[in-house]
Structure 1
Amino acid sequence: MHRWVHGLFALVALATIVALVVLWPRPDRVPDGSPGRPSGIPQPTGPSATGPSGTDSGSPTDRPSGPSGPSGPGGPGAPTLPTEPTQTCVDPDPDRLVALTFNIHGALGGGNGPDLERIAQEIEAFDADVVLLQEVDRFRERSGFVDQPTWLGTRLGMNVVFGRNVVRAPERRGAPRSEYGTALLSRLPVRRWENRMLPRQRGHEQRGLLRATLDLGGRPLDVYGTHLQHTRGTIRIVQLRAVRRIVAQRSGPDVPFLLGGDLNATPDSPAMAVAGTFALDPWPVVGEGRGLTVPPRVPRRRIDYVLHSPHLLPTSAQVLRSAISDHRAVRVSLDLPRPGCGR
């Protein structure tokens, strides 16, 4: 009898010990839903998730704010949040540039015939290193048969290239063929240039893309100027897709570029959505006011732009009045940081 009682007590004691081992709470776990910790997520242990030095090894913009992958410092699922801001290299002496786009309307807006001298005075006052001009005449009767790009280059002491997009028969006996297109004036040396025709629909004016490679502090800078079709939005989309292809072929990913001109498209248009796939608009960052450029006295639309590649950092952007043209000019200041600093 006593032997059975002793055996029964031994079994009860053994069961009690097993239950204590299995059910006793572990010190490194808390019940799901406890305050201060996400439900069901184990907390990282061991070295700091930011590495031995206590600072993140990458830039804050390069690190996700959620858990890291399997190779993260704290093991699988460990967060890798930076604890200190990463210092960004700021170039104390970047190459600086002021770019201007200006539809001069053949210098015809003064009311008393063409006034190219007044246009020159306005460009001079705008004080730009690179000037992109649209609606530029050569040897046309309406503008007094003046070679406008050559005249402006000489008057302002700037290098000049001209992209003729429309060529017609002479408008008077003995005169050269009349021409119409875009021009580029530059205080910087011009290494090379070309003018490429853009797609057009039948009955529409021929448009072009003028490109000049300039020397900015010993580095190449590609500047593209254009004047897109004004009558239909669909052809502007096609034209900007062609511009995108040319920029990709000519400039590639390493050469900084500007794209400016009268694009005849508002910022919310499908055409400007195409432009936004390969160039940046400085206006949301540094622009003064709404950037409206037409009509000149009380402008209601923004259709003139200076866009840029990510290599360039805009510092200011303004719209400037003209007493002659039917457009206001757009002036943008930009910095080009030296390699290895900034961007």
Structure 2
Amino acid sequence: MPGSDTLRVLTLNIAHGRGLSTYQGFHSARGIERSLKRVAHLLNQVGADIVALQEVDEDSHWNRRIHLLDSLQAQTEYAHAYLGVHNRRAGKLPLAYGNGLLSRYPIVHAEHKAFGRASLGEKGFMCAELETPHGILPVVNLHLDFRSRVRRIEQVERLIQFLDDKKYTVEGTPHLSPIVCGDFNSGSGKLGDAVRHLFSYLQDQCEYALCPTGRKCRTFPSLLPMHGLDFIFVPPSYRVRSSQVLRSYVSDHRPVFIELDILRKS
């Protein structure tokens, strides 16, 4: 088990297991499996306690119906996993994908929400409550719309309503304040976009930190990063020891990895 005084978290959009290519359907099953092997190697090297993944397929025709999270779990040392499917289509060309979580800690409860009902390209979020040595820790993993700023704000408002309903950010509840992470498809500097909107809400609840920040926050595209799209929001139960965007080419996104010191129980 991980140490009781630190916590390591990684978030990564794995692009349906296609690696650096433009479309997963161009790959054979062996090609998808090679790509997943590279992702698993990265996870084993980094050794995060919690791994949040986006664009994770459960049963999709375009990557040979390989269950990506099961494959990654089998190649790593994570005892616990959850996949929240927010895009599902039946028929001859089935699709089933969403956001996944790998954890060294037991998952005591998990659920997921789709933002809409589209049969292709739908986004959503999942939330897993983890049993850690320092308390029950909710982890939210989300993926927002890439086309529309207005839609991203609407999606963040859906998440805020979920957090309010769960009372996750209220002091004195039996759980820690949540870690929120994922692919926001927007930068952190735009006041009218999703990252700043969510950050403003979380800071109104308690003193959250945003990782990464500054010039080193760029995660997309991985070969020559121009945009910071992937972030982790850290509640005040933790102090950020280190925050970095890892130089990695397992996907079109680079992973964000943070190491946290545990300060107190909520």
Aligned to 1:140: 60
- Report the counterpart of residue 118 of structure 1 in structure 2: 38
- What is the DSSP-based 3-state SS (H/G/I as helix, E as strand, rest coil) of the residue aligned with 1:209? strand
Partner of 2:24: none
The one-letter code of the counterpart of 1:333 is E
Give the Cα separation in 2 of the matches to 1:290 and 1:120.
24
Q: Which residue of 2 aligns with 1:102?
A: 12
Identity rate, percent: 27
Higher relative contact order (CA 8 A, sep 6+): 2
What residue number does 1:191 align with? 108
Report if aligned partners of 2:4, 2:133 keep a CA contact under 8 Å in 1.
Answer: no
Q: What RMSD in Å do the two structures reach over aligned CA positions?
A: 2.3
Mark the structure with the bigger radius of gyration: 1
Note if contact 2:17-2:68 (Cα within 8 Å) is conserved in structure 1: no
Residue deviations 1:262-306 (CA, integer Å, cap 9, x gap): 00011122222211123334347xx58521001111111101001
SS at match of 1:156: coil
Kindly provide the amino acid, as one letter, of the partner of residue 266 in structure 1.
G
Aligned residues: 241
Q: Is the 8 A contact 2:188 2:228 kept in 1?
A: yes
Unaligned 5+ residue runs, structure 2? Answer: 22-26, 203-207
TM-score of the pair, normalised by structure 2: 0.83
Query: After superposition, where does 1:47-196 map in structure 2 within 5 Å?
Result: 95-110=5-20, 113-114=31-32, 115-158=35-78, 159-171=80-92, 177-196=94-113
Structural mapping, 1:215-234, within 5 Å: 215-234=131-150
Alignment of 1:28-47 (within 5 A): none
- Asked whether the 8 Å contact 2:223–2:249 carries over to 1, the reply is no
Correspondence for 2:198 among 275, 290, 304: 275
Q: Deviation per CA, 1:297-335: give whole Å up to 9, x if none.
A: 111110100112222221110001222200000001112
Q: CA deviation at 1:249?
A: 2.1
Assess if the C-alpha contact under 8 Å between 2:188 and 2:195 holds in 1. Answer: yes
Match of 2:162 among 233, 246, 249: 246
Contact 2:87–2:96, Cα closer than 8 Å, also in 1: yes
Q: 1:212 aligns with which of 112, 117, 128?
A: 128
Letter in 1 for 2:86: N
Match of 1:265 in 2: 186
Tell me how far apart the structure 2 counterparts of residues 191 and 125 of structure 1 sit (CA, whole Å).
27
SS in structure 1 opposite 2:201? coil
Change in Cα spacing, 1:252 to 1:283, as seen in structure 2 (3 Å) is closer
The 1:232/1:161 distance shift into structure 2, 3 A limit, reads same
1:328 aligns with 2:251: no
1:283 and 1:218 mapped to 2: Cα distance? 22
CA contact (8 A) 1:288 1:318 kept: no
Equivalent position amino acid for 1:184 in 2: L
TM-score normalised over the length of structure 1: 0.65
The runs of 5 or more residues in structure 1 that have no matched partner are: 1-92
Rounded to whole Å, the distance in 2 between the matches of 1:164 and 1:203 is 12
**Greater share of strand:** 2
2:198 and 2:98 map into 1 onto residues whose CA distance is 21
* Separation in 2, partners of 1:199, 1:239: 9
Q: Note the C-alpha offset of 1:94.
A: 6.4
Q: How does 1:3-14 map to 2 (within 5 A)?
A: none
How far apart are the structure 1 equivalents of 2:83 and 2:231? 19
Change (3 A) 1:205 1:144: closer
Q: CA separation of 1:233/1:300 partners in 2, compared to 1, >3 Å: closer, same or farther?
A: same
